[in-house]
Structure 1
């Protein structure tokens, strides 16, 4: 009997996420389907090679997901419309805001049978951080409501329950919508394998783009205070300083690069060696995450956490008091961050215990195989 191979079209706003965040899902999809990706230009040869090896058909564009450019967005819309009309996908899977907003509308117009937009966090769009960002957020919210208008072929995917409730509360979606919540992007527990954290040379690692809402300043200021009391403690920061509406100011960036307080490692292609060297992972974010990838990677490798009691971040800390794997602190609270850092410094056994608990929590909740099984069901590909 002939098995029809469905066509799946994936749309994203950054080629860096294709294999890093969606690699295992793509591997599952290509087993029984013809997979296409619509992505900004791929600059990493390793990503090109992996997609080619998987027989994924790549269609490139010039989208800049972080900036507002009407002309660029119109070109993107036109190219995506032509692509969907050409390949006629059975399943359209966009993730991140611009692909979700523009792609969902186009896919509805083109009568794609299964449209599964994934919201990987709401970012700034439901908070207020200055007039310019508020204006952009207002426009984004209105466009999102328009694009997610109820449709029998639409199946919306969230990475945390808070984002679902927020869109319901604000009237962007309603009871008629088909909505699903999965546990983030999942984490490959074989790729990010456990290692014993360093409790002799204690160091705190933060992995993040250098934008304000990720808590870069809070990490920097907390590091300054801790190092005044514990001169042997080290702090490391991994992440790109890119063109973003909320990038940290040049003065803070210069202070970070001076490496007088923290060791700045820039952007790296593989975070595993750095997590292996780390004792604790820190992410004082109030950005509006889906589920932060760096926290999942840290948990998988057995690292204790400090993060904020904020959307997405709170998902990574086990709420049970029986097997704690980290601490949740209030947003923008440097004193609380310092306090939890000092807890680990003065209770080194918790670095080990919380790390093991985190690895087990990742197995139970965030195993990428479990998450991808749910994704295939939502896409009606199981």
Structure 2
């Protein structure tokens, strides 16, 4: 097929490298790929360079609200699209989707494929903040139906949420893919240690990810099972929903949790753990840490919430447990199930690996993405 120009807009170069590298490599077999990204940290420049893409930087802060900065971002992207004249525009995460889709339409880009990789804090039930209302209004304007627009979701719940909110209509062209997928060759499975049981949570330290619930559950379980280990990986960064400084201090210095901060490679930490926990009600796409857990062969405990529920199968092929959101008691119960039934850790983990192979293989997900963007011969 004819080579096309593809412009990707993201809110984090780390997410681009971690979640889109395989897709970019697939695109580059026949097409030219450009990326519009916030400033590139020095430690990631070599990794980004290895992708051999054409990069343009901006000053977007995806977590903070600044009308002036957002307008500057939109204007810079508008000018870049006029310069490149892409055939396909692929923005993902809220701000690139909102501003990028709008300016791509103004520039007449033939194919616009915004991906909502989770609706995040702005769509959490009960959130009636001004910022949430503004975000929803901007999303409605940006995603107004036009020829060439195909909206990509990572779970069916997000699609239904936007339909019910009348942000999009049934006439919109939409597609649901299985998250960002996971590269199974990168996450080789290993046998879990069921004699020295440990739990791990991998997440940014924000409230809606369930940090407090994990903290409280670990304290409770430890009282009855002082031989159990609890670990937490994730950055404490500038975010509107970041946990309080007091809770952060308690986690680091006054709890049974071993806080490991942010790490470049989670694989050895997941392999060194028995069960992966994510009690999130954030509004996920499909959480990457749960896909990584399944690929490595670990059972999961997560919430019956948007995105998370996509990752758990029930009996006879159970790979984990779904618990109600903000329910520390139920989290404790499921943790104790694995403590008291340690051989189940192996079986649940193998079922999770099979689910990852069947449903979440990155190559299957990316093949579907290429079809949606009209980048294949099919």
Q: TM-score, normalised by structure 1?
A: 0.97
Give how far 1:322 is off.
1.4
CA RMSD of aligned residues (A): 1.1
- What are the within-5 Å matches in structure 2 for residues 1-382 of structure 1? 4-45=2-43, 47-128=44-125, 134-258=129-253, 260-319=255-314, 321-382=315-376
1:130 is displaced (CA, Å) by 5.9
Aligned-partner Cα distance in 1 for 2:247–2:49: 40
- Whether the 8 Å contact between 2:206 and 2:239 is mirrored in structure 1 is yes
How much does 1:146 deviate?
0.4
Task: Return the alpha-carbon distance in structure 2 between the equivalents of residues 231 and 127 of structure 1.
Answer: 35
Is the partner of 2:33 in helix, strand or coil? Answer: strand
> Equivalents in 2 of 1:226, 1:315: separation in Å?
27
Give how far 1:299 is off.
0.5
Alignment deviations for residues 18-46 of structure 1 (CA, whole Å, 9 cap, x no partner): 1101111111011111000000011053x
Cα distance in structure 1, aligned partners of 2:49 and 2:339: 46
The offset of 1:366, in angstroms, is 0.2
Q: CA–CA distance in 2 between the matches of 1:351 and 1:175?
A: 42
Report the Cα distance in structure 2 between the residues aligned to 1:53 and 1:288, rounded to whole angstroms: 32
1:260 positional shift? 3.3
> 2: CA distance between counterparts of 1:173 and 1:130?
20
Deviations 1:324-366 (A, max 9, x none): 0000000000000000000000001110000000000000000
Residues in 2 aligned to 1:171 and 1:277: alpha-carbon distance in whole angstroms: 45
Query: 1:54: how far off?
Result: 3.0
- Contact 1:7–1:34 (Cα < 8 Å) also in 2: yes
Q: Provide the rounded CA distance (Å) in 1 between the counterparts of 2:195 and 2:75.
A: 56
- Structure 1 residue runs of 5 or longer lacking an equivalent are none
Which stretches of structure 1, 4 residues or more, deviate above 4 A after TM superposition?
128-131
Q: C-alpha displacement at 1:175, in angstroms?
A: 1.5
Aligned equivalents of 1:210 and 1:167: distance in 2? Answer: 27
- State the TM-score, normalizing by the size of structure 2: 0.98
In 1, are the aligned partners of 2:21 and 2:51 still within 8 Å (CA)?
no
1:49 Cα deviation from its structure 2 partner = 2.4
Number of residue equivalences:
376
Structure 2 gap segments, 5+ residues each: none
Distance 2:126 2:200 in 1: 26
Deviates more, 1:59-68 or 1:48-57: 48-57
* Residue aligned with 1:58, SS: strand
Q: Distance in 2 between matches of 1:335 and 1:54?
A: 45
3-state SS, counterpart of residue 122 of structure 2: coil
